[in-house]
Structure 1
Amino acid sequence: MNLYHQLIENPLFFKWIYHNTPEINSYWEHFLNEHPDDATVIREFKEGFERHLQYDKQQLTEKEKKDLALRILKELEHVDNRKKQRRIVRLTMRYAAIAILFLMVGSAVTWFLLEDKISDRYAHFPPPQNLNIQDPTLIIENEQEVALNKGKSELEYSDEGKIIVDKQQVIEDDNSEAVKMNTLVIPYGNHSTITLSDGTKVWLNAGSRLMYPSRFVDKNREVLLIGEAFFEVSKMEDKPFIVQTPDIEIKVLGTQFNVSAYPDENIAHAVLTEGSVEISHKNQGVFDRDIVLRPGQLVAYNKQNSSTNIYDVETEYFTSWKEGYLTFTNSDLNRVVKKLERYYNIHLRYADPLDGSMRISGKLDITKSQDVIFEYMNSLTNLNFVKINERNYLIK
């Protein structure tokens, strides 16, 4: 068995390509950042699969996956094979050594891989102990877990230190003077709004986590976001509001903006609707200077090549989710489908993966049931969204 076949036989590598999860993707991003000499080879190999399979590959058999890998290897023959083989030997040995550990820790990998990318200023935020939560949950100081309404939930912090949960339950704080670190966990299929102690309102999208203090007592109001959220920040001239993500930092005084920083996506972006924000990268030297956005602009950071671009955009396309609908113009179907998967906590696969590159325009009322949405998608795309079971659909 040659060296390329050894990589093809590596289950952890194929899991990254065919059964990607936030945990798998976070692990690989972390590994490639730590081993830049190997990163180009691995990404090139993975991108070869992505050129052939635009979206979901789980319908392929194991034999078909390996056959595809062999075809991709032929396309890469112009690269120095000897150099690649030496790298692959080292990588294969490393993956074999950590594969068992990875499977044992499961989703707990997410936080610890992201932790290295979080700035020192955020080091005092402790990681939540239970990272495998399946339902909307508020974690208070890593000690108390509060179940929230499924689907849509709401939290509000009062001036007296009380937490109002879904407009009904009131959580009293026995020691309101102490600052507690809280984590709001919103899995796929759910969304939430939270009013922080300073009056800032946050809409949290499906598949997201927000870590924040019960009160802001430092010179900065600082929170950590993993996933997507829309922020309506209360203005405080003497206390900037800072949103940390694993890759970028956003600093504001009072404004409205959307941030998308999902671990399983290669692009992190922020869109400004009102006011101004200053954006910097966690790794010094990546940006020539901090970026200041004006309303109607989007900044996109590519995690793979560390490139940054600024665009003038219609902000509605990036913020309408908080109002209960998705708006898209000439978007590829893959992108829309990914949002639907998160919002409804379902899985969609293609009978023909090339259908994912179809360009579509429209508006979806995601307050409707998924069946109603897919009836509309049927007419919009001339494809059939066929229900297999409660969580799985086939697009054909």
Structure 2
Amino acid sequence: MKDIEKKLLNNFQEKDKTLLKKRIMSSVERYKRKRKIKRLYWAAAIAVLIIVSGAVYKNAQRFDDSYVKLLETTKVGTIKEVQLVLSDDVLTVSKSDSIIVYNNSDNMVLIGNSKTAKNSAIVMNTVVVPYGRHTQLKLADGTHIWLNAGSKLVYPSSFSGDKRIVYLEGEAAFDVAHDKQHPFTVKAKNHEIEVLGTVFNVSCYSDEKAVTTALESGSVRINYESGNILNTKKSVTITPGTIASYNKDEKQVSTKEGNVSNYFLWRKGLIVFKNDDMEYILKRLSRYYNVPIEVRNKDRFQQTFSGYLDLKTNIEEVLNIISESSTFTYTKQENNIIIE
């Protein structure tokens, strides 16, 4: 009898063990399934986020690229007068008609004191300034812009939405109409400057190594593409009396305090250089006078120059001033300057 009871007890324990094992395995399988479902859920969520972010980035990039193409349509070296490109017309702005004014109430564009043109509402316009010229324009919001030689600006005929955005290649001085609800942004390649209302100068020529921003009043925030692996954007805010320089190769911004008024003197035909290399100076002179300058034996031409130049005189007089403190000579062949 005892043997039978012992056997039954053992059988019961085995069944109990088997049942317990099944329950444990079932719980483990359910736990694994839940973890797998969670992993799939988060993977799907991340994938959707990446797709949406990519779509937003591509749309923003496409938005920017469309206006970058406008900047590239007209070459500054192929024209002799300032050109205003409207939605359906191209107007020439002569020297006597150097100010372009937008009237927001009736979509009219006033060129100087005589010429007017009807502009379609909220379309992109372009001003192209050839070498040897500079011009002014007043946007529909009241912002005043001075454009230097060899510059192009793309902007809307009338601002809409929550931002005021313009696209610049070259150099311009801005006196931005204050509007706290609608920040004003100047965009260049890998670089943008955001303001509410202020006075500043931006130099972002494609053939120069840096984008320079000089702030006279107000406050600006500079957003730029950094040089890290993810190519993320960084920002720096500068105050009046500050000069910010964005190195295009290193993708970094450096700031310093200085006499920012010197950066606005080109509007009066004056330039101040401070320890600037001759390559930079000659590029500026070439744009301003619309005269090609060829430098021979550049390896020996590593000097810097500091001084004040009055560009209202002819280029020969300016080069004579520079050569007095340097070791070069030059010759003029037809419309070209050859630096020996």
TM-score range, shorter chain: 0.7 to 0.9
Cα-to-partner distance string for 1:148-197 (whole Å, 9 max, x where unaligned): 12598321112432211133311134x5xx21210111122221111111
TM-score by length of 2: 0.73
| Counterpart-to-counterpart distance in 2, 1:287 and 1:162 | 41
Amino acid at match of 1:330: N
Match of 1:168 in 2: 114
Cα-to-partner distance string for 1:105-125 (whole Å, 9 max, x where unaligned): xxxxxxxxxxx9x84554564
Match of 2:150 in 1: 207
How many Å apart are 1:247 and its aligned residue?
A: 1.7
1:347 to 268, 276, 292: 292
1:234 to 163, 173, 177: 177
How many Å apart are 1:282 and its aligned residue?
A: 4.6
Cα-to-partner distance string for 1:18-48 (whole Å, 9 max, x where unaligned): xxxxxxxxxxxxxxxxxxxxxxxxxxxxxxx
| Counterpart-to-counterpart distance in 2, 1:378 and 1:305 | 33
Write the mapping of 1:324-363 to structure 2, written as runs, cut at 5 A.
324-354=269-299, 356-363=301-308
Q: Is the 8 Å Cα contact of residues 188 and 342 (structure 1) preserved in structure 2?
A: yes
2:69 to 127, 152, 160: 127
Match of 1:307 in 2: 252
Match of 2:90 in 1: 145
Match of 1:372 in 2: 317
| Counterpart-to-counterpart distance in 2, 1:348 and 1:151 | 28
SS in 2 for 1:394: strand
Match of 1:272 in 2: 215
Instruction: Give the 3 Å change call, closer, same or farther, for CA 380–165 of structure 1 in structure 2.
Output: farther
Q: Which runs of 5+ in 2 are unaligned?
A: 1-57
Q: Is the 8 Å Cα contact of residues 119 and 282 (structure 1) preserved in structure 2?
A: no
Larger relative contact order, structure 1 or 2 (CA cutoff 8 Å, min sep 6): 1
Equivalent pairs, count: 276
SS in 2 for 1:339: helix
Q: Which runs of 5+ in 1 are unaligned?
A: 1-115
More strand by share: 2
SS in 2 for 1:341: helix
1:393 to 316, 327, 337: 337
How many Å apart are 1:345 and its aligned residue?
A: 1.4
| Counterpart-to-counterpart distance in 2, 1:395 and 1:152 | 35
Match of 2:101 in 1: 156
Match of 1:50 in 2: none
Q: Which runs of 4+ in 1 moved over 6 A?
A: none
Amino acid at match of 1:259: V
- Amino-acid identity (%): 29
Q: Is the 8 Å Cα contact of residues 186 and 194 (structure 2) preserved in structure 1?
A: yes
Q: Is the 8 Å Cα contact of residues 249 and 282 (structure 1) preserved in structure 2?
A: no
| Counterpart-to-counterpart distance in 2, 1:351 and 1:300 | 29
Instruction: Give the 3 Å change call, closer, same or farther, for CA 223–186 of structure 1 in structure 2.
Output: same
Cα-to-partner distance string for 1:86-105 (whole Å, 9 max, x where unaligned): xxxxxxxxxxxxxxxxxxxx
Instruction: Give the 3 Å change call, closer, same or farther, for CA 138–288 of structure 1 in structure 2.
Output: closer
Match of 1:28 in 2: none
Write the mapping of 1:72-83 to structure 2, written as runs, cut at 5 A.
none
Instruction: Give the 3 Å change call, closer, same or farther, for CA 332–169 of structure 1 in structure 2.
Output: same
Q: Is the 8 Å Cα contact of residues 152 and 192 (structure 1) preserved in structure 2?
A: no
Amino acid at match of 1:198: D
| Counterpart-to-counterpart distance in 2, 1:198 and 1:345 | 32
SS in 1 for 2:69: coil
Cα-to-partner distance string for 1:219-277 (whole Å, 9 max, x where unaligned): 11110111111111011111110111112111100001111111122212211111100
Q: Is the 8 Å Cα contact of residues 225 and 233 (structure 2) preserved in structure 1?
A: no
How many Å apart are 1:280 and its aligned residue?
A: 0.6
Amino acid at match of 2:268: E
How many Å apart are 1:376 and its aligned residue?
A: 2.9
TM-score by length of 1: 0.63
SS in 1 for 2:319: helix
